Amino acid sequence: MIFSTTKALTLVGLLTSGFAAAVPAPTAAPARSLNKRQSSVDTFISTESPIAYAGVLANIGDDGSKVAGAAAGIVVASPSKSNPDYFYTWTRDAALVFKALVDQFIAGDFDLQDEIEDYIISQAKLQGVSNPSGDLSSGTGLGEPKFYVDLTQFTGAWGRPQRDGPALRATAMIAYAKWLVDNGYTDTARDVVWPVIRNDLSYVTQYWNQTGFDLWEEVQGSSFFTIAVSHRALVEGSTLASQLGQSCSYCDSQAPQILCFLQSFWNSNGNYVVSNINTNNGRTGKDANSILTSIHTFDQAAGCDDSTFQPCSARALANHKAVTDSFRSIYAINSGIAQGSAVAVGRYAEDSYYNGNPWYLCTLAAAEQLYDALYTWTREGSITINSVSLPFFQDIYSSAAVGTYASGTDTFTALLNAVKTYADGYIAKVQQYTPSSGALSEQYSRSDGTPLSAPDLTWSYAAFLTAVSARNGIVPASWGGESANVVPGQCVATSALGTYSSATNTVFPTSQTSAPGGSTTTTTRPTTTTTRTTTTSSSTTTGATCPTSVAVTFNVIATTYFGESVLLAGGVAALGSWAPASAKALSADRYTASNNLWYGTVSLAPGTAVAYKYVRKGSDGAFTWESDPNRSYTVPSCVATASVSDTWR
């Protein structure tokens, strides 16, 4: 059998470049030195986050401290070269990792730009490497799952093709291309990044309706995960094409049919996703594949949509229960755990790889889906329970009943708290079986929790960061799911030809971003008095021409509760012109128990005098301004970046 080795983060934001500098890459602990500490989940998160971040970066590229020999931009699954040998790069896993890094970059971690550009360059090269799956001229070579870390083909026996990689890679690069467009670098997005994306979109439209191997690299058939991420890629790919003055008619023709086919995986009798169809593997189909699908196609603006299996949808919640319940009775370490309490989660109950154990990333995915759901319910201001989702809710809140519960009601609050406690239980389960060093392997023993299989698995570290980011309410931008969820009345087996060509322009212009920054906070109603000043810093430019805009990062220390967010409002359009509903949302992806930081970066004209305040938005949608007076800041001239540091008052 063929077994997968990496997967990657959706960490929309726990990564911070400061962590990489301050904390050495972790090393594997002795097999039996399990961490038995009973500290709170918050404390565990604050100590594990920098370790996980360092673990991710240690496995990337020519400067990765644990992967000597890897080419620039290459994500290595694990430093392990034997028992098991995971010293390769997978298209799927690298894409998931870099989607997370791009999201972190957009949130203000600008030190990641070189890594992101190295990734795009490396993938442009890999697209042109002929391999056992094929080559670029026909597109077939894009379905090759893995390569050596020096960008050469792997010719050994493997489960090929795997059709999720191109879709996921397109999604990662689309996020970066959109940032380029939004920041005035449309030419770079069109001339350097789009040709790589277009190849992958063309592969998806041509081959989505053909079978391949699933993300665990074991089952040949039609994969729920692959189909869902393919739909997403085409939807956002078409939008980007329009922004670049290009077209992707083949995206538009195929996306609705992919969504139509996606509905075929739902088992309405058992209320769960059959993760692989068009195959006969003797399994129930209950698989963490489906939970991973939900978090990697999460759209903050799509609500609880069933057709795209959004995390808070009735289908996704029922499936969460079905999948996690399938592990309750088969693992010794889950013995005695009550229904409705978190358990260790593996890939699927029938798994036999390394004797079939729980995986860190699967347990973390179970938490992340619930955190995403909490975000949406808070944003939407209500929770709806129907007959499909009722068993999920009854497990964690015995009084749950069919109905819609608005924010501000006792039931809404009780349900939020119950789900939050349940989600935190999965983090606590990871804490229980994490070694004292913080190093994360691929698996932990079903019998006693001992770490097993590949050490320092990139995907495990990334999954931790992703889950924590979701817990903090930090989510990536919408991919358009809200307007792409109408299922056609009839499914048609179809495909469309796109365009394949070598992406030869891989030179990125310099200075297309600003310095790193970060913050999280809240503010108060504006006043007519502006006297408060702040601590500031800036970086000057070295060229003869001064920039026409300055990337100003506002940092604020503000202690918040779950479901609460911090906004930046002010007297300029970029800050909502004092309208809190239009204010700049700040990021909490660096928020820890000891550093309650919210931050955000805004492009402002040099010399502009800005009056501003921080605003809290509660889980009920109410705004609370920080105390008077207004703060003031004058944007410096002839600098590329600047930063402001405040404390909520």
Annotated binding site for substrate: 158
Q: Which of 115, 200, 214, 218 is catalytic?
A: 214
CA distances in angstroms from 50 to 15, 16, 205, listed in the order given: 8, 8, 39
482 in catalytic set: no
Burial, 84: exposed, middle or buried (Cβ in 10 Å; 0-12, 13-18, 19+)? Answer: middle
Q: What is the rounded CA–CA span in Å between residue 543 and residue 535?
A: 26
Q: What is the rounded CA–CA span in Å between residue 565 and residue 558?
A: 10
Burial, 538: exposed, middle or buried (Cβ in 10 Å; 0-12, 13-18, 19+)? Answer: middle
3-state SS of 517-560 is CCCECCCCCCCCCEEECCEEEEEECCCCCCCCCEEEEEEEECCC
CA 357 to chain centre: 24
The three-state secondary structure class of 309 is coil
Contact 57, 104 (CB under 8 A): no
Q: What is the rounded CA–CA span in Å between residue 329 and residue 380?
A: 36
Q: Angle 164-182/113-127 helices, nearest 10 degrees?
A: 140
- The secondary element (H helix, E strand) that includes residue 292 is helix 288-296
150 in catalytic set: no
Residues making up the annotated binding site are 158
DSSP of 147-213: E-TTS-B--S------THHHHHHHHHHHHHHHHHHHTT-HHHIIIIIHHHHHHHHHHHHHHTTS-EE
Name, in order, each residue with C-beta under 8 angstroms of 417's C-beta and a sequence gap of 6 or more: none
Q: What is the rounded CA–CA span in Å between residue 540 and residue 124?
A: 33
Contact 204, 212 (CB under 8 A): no
Residue type, 593: A
Only one residue has tokens 């709170």, namely 40
Q: What is the rounded CA–CA span in Å between residue 345 and residue 350?
A: 13
Cα Rg of the chain, angstroms: 24
Contact 94, 462 (CB under 8 A): no
- Residues taking part in catalysis: 214, 217
